[in-house]
Structure 1
Amino acid sequence: MDEFQRIWKRHQYVARASTAFIYGILVSIAMNFFWTPGKIYSSGVTGLAQLIETLTRQYGPIHLSTAALLLLLNLPLFLIAWKNIGHRFTFFTFLAVICSSIMIKSLKPITLTTDPIICAIFGAAINGFGTGLALKNGISTGGLDIIGLTLRKKTGKSIGTINMTFNAFIVLAAGAVYGWPYAFYSALGIVINARVMDMVYTRQQKMQVMIVTNKPKSVVDCIQSHMRRGITIVHGAEGAYRHDEKSILFTVISRYEQAELKAAMEESDPYAFVSISENVQIMGHFYEPEP
């Protein structure tokens, strides 16, 4: 058993390291093939690095590249993550940022088009896929992710307002530097980036599950052996067709766990009625694995 756990842990480390490298390639393609030619700013710390690079190139005595700035801006955040989130998380986040910085610097820019709408859409889609893939495999891409996880761990609150304010600043900066149409193009890219990321990374999407079954103990035991979720049982329900006794089970899962729920139901009661409501809001404790 110990040998299996060591092999599984080694497999996870290799998968995360490979994902960090893939993310570095994807974000460099988005940056060098689309965002830079189209004068589009990304969201978060990447967008801030682009803004500072533009300002130092135009007005500063020293020109700092986006790749170098991306690493420099993340350094204090690595210290926060190391202290407040975890060493393993920080290591793979550092690896993802290093890979992206190296690939942005190394990959030769190719101007496929300068059309800002095309550049905003395709750059955001590629970056959103890379970011979602990284999050899905348990690593962060740095920047505001670290601040968000730290605040959520300490206070239980998200940083939605901070995120929106920061990205609004990036959008306004794009308008001030390149002209106001580019502010709208950058805003379009930020929205698409978020949508694609949500499509790939499904762990944060909550779903309420209602199960009507006449085998409540079997279903509860099977679900809880597949995933770590609390379940509320309502006894004494009655089927309207045959008037047989039923139990109703309620739980909340993430979209990421939907396949595990399906497997548990097929194993415990394939004839149960299962209803799933998407995008529910949670008040109270909802278990999320440590990064």
Structure 2
Amino acid sequence: MSTITKKKSNKLFKFSRALLVIIGGIITAYGLEAVLIPNSVSDGGVTGLSIVGSQFGLPLGLLIAVLNIPFVFLGYKQIGKSFAIYSVIGIASLAVSTSLMHQVPTIIDGDTLLVTVVGGIIIGFGMGLALRNGGALDGIDMLAVLLSRKLPFGTSDLILFLNMFIFIVVSTVFGLQGAILSAIAYYIASKVIHIVEEGLSGSKTFNIITDHPELMVETIRDRLGRGATYKLAQGGYTQEQFKEITCVINRLEESKMKEIIREIDPRAFVAIYDVSEVKGGNFQKKNIH
């Protein structure tokens, strides 16, 4: 593959990711404006706080954009520039879409069970689509990932813990029933995110066999701040010896890792495993800025 062809391919790949993140923001906005908010049901995270603030006359889109600013900066410092850029694209898409869809007709009215299920599925699909392509629509995920490195708790545990306080705030505006319905909708959304994005919490192990192992490890270290290990392996048929790379990352870095592999060696053999928990060793992200 020539250098020019490779650059064009990478640009197309990045553009398609950005487009899918934007679509994820639009889908999430539709779930909020056409299902949840008209039925006094909120979402979790920063979006949930924004919905509460909008009940006092403040523009929802503006609140989503402003309240997410510190979390985007946090994502930039702790996860990387690429993740921060895609998150800005996704959050901007969500903020603009909620403003444009404010008068969209409500597709479900009054049926609380159907509201929570349909609303949770729609926003879960939108958020999962954004996460799958390297961006986040809500800053609570970024905060949970950072805290999980400092505290002896998993990412999903911290997301649940942080949202408990948010739903308490929601109850002051939408009442206890509204807060309970919001929690149910958020739980359903989290399960849909897990399906779409393949892993709401936890880490990923990448096993990589490539013709450029040293360059691959160096690039992973420079761009992700992650270390990697070599394991000497031998092909069962060719008897050829090679270095197999093993690297453990968090779920938000998966898209960036795939981009690195695709850029360095599109023909690399890659096996990806879900990791429910990582402890000890040197699984501490280095500062890449």
TM over 0.5: yes
User: Which amino acid letter does the alignment assign opposite residue 79 of structure 2?
Assistant: I
Q: How far did residue 72 of structure 1 move? A: 0.9
Q: What are the residue-to-residue correspondences of 1:194-233 with 2, within 5 Å?
A: 194-202=190-198, 224-225=209-210
Q: 1:1-291 maps to which residues of 2 (within 5 A)? A: 1-54=2-55, 56=56, 63-107=57-101, 108-114=103-109, 115-151=111-147, 158-202=154-198, 224-225=209-210, 280-283=276-279, 284=281
Q: Distance in 2 between matches of 1:157 and 1:165?
A: 10
What is the distance in 2 between the residues matched to 1:52 and 1:75? 16
**CA 1:199–1:171 in 2, change beyond 3 Å: closer, same or farther?**
same
- The CA deviation at 1:64 is 0.6
Deviation for aligned residue 1:92: 1.5
Contact map agreement 2:40 2:178 (CA 8 A) in 1: yes
Q: Which amino acid counterpart does residue 127 of structure 2 have in structure 1? A: T
What is the alpha-carbon distance in structure 2 between the residues aligned to residue 90 and residue 156 of structure 1? 26
CA contact 1:207–1:278 (8 Å) conserved in 2: yes
CA positional deviation for 1:205: 5.8
The whole-number CA distance in structure 2 between the counterparts of 1:155 and 1:84 is 15
Structure 2 unaligned residues grouped into runs of 5+: 218-227, 233-245, 256-268
Q: Which amino acid aligns with 1:113?
A: I
| Structure with max Cα Rg | 1
Following TM superposition, the consecutive aligned residue runs of length 4 or more in structure 1 with deviations greater than 6 angstroms are 153-157, 226-233, 251-257
1:37–1:119 Cα contact (<8 Å) kept: no
Amino acid corresponding to residue 224 of structure 1 in structure 2: I
Q: 1:207 to 1:94 in 2, by over 3 A?
A: closer
Structure 1 pair 8–286 and aligned structure 2 pair: CA distance change class (3 A):
farther
Question: Normalising by the residue count of structure 1, what TM-score does the alignment of the two structures yield?
Answer: 0.67
Q: Please tell me whether the aligned partners of residues 149 and 284 of structure 2 are also in contact (alpha carbons under 8 angstroms).
A: no
**Aligned-residue identity in percent:** 23
Residue identity in the other structure for 2:23: I
157 and 173 in structure 1: CA distance in 2 versus 1, 3 angstrom threshold? closer
Kept after mapping to 1: 8 A contact 2:21/2:129: no
Q: How far does residue 159 in structure 1 lie from its aligned partner after superposition?
A: 4.5
| Structure 2 SS opposite 1:111 | coil
Shift of residue 91, structure 1, vs aligned partner? 1.7
CA contact (8 A) 2:50 2:63 kept: yes
Shift of 1:153: 6.5
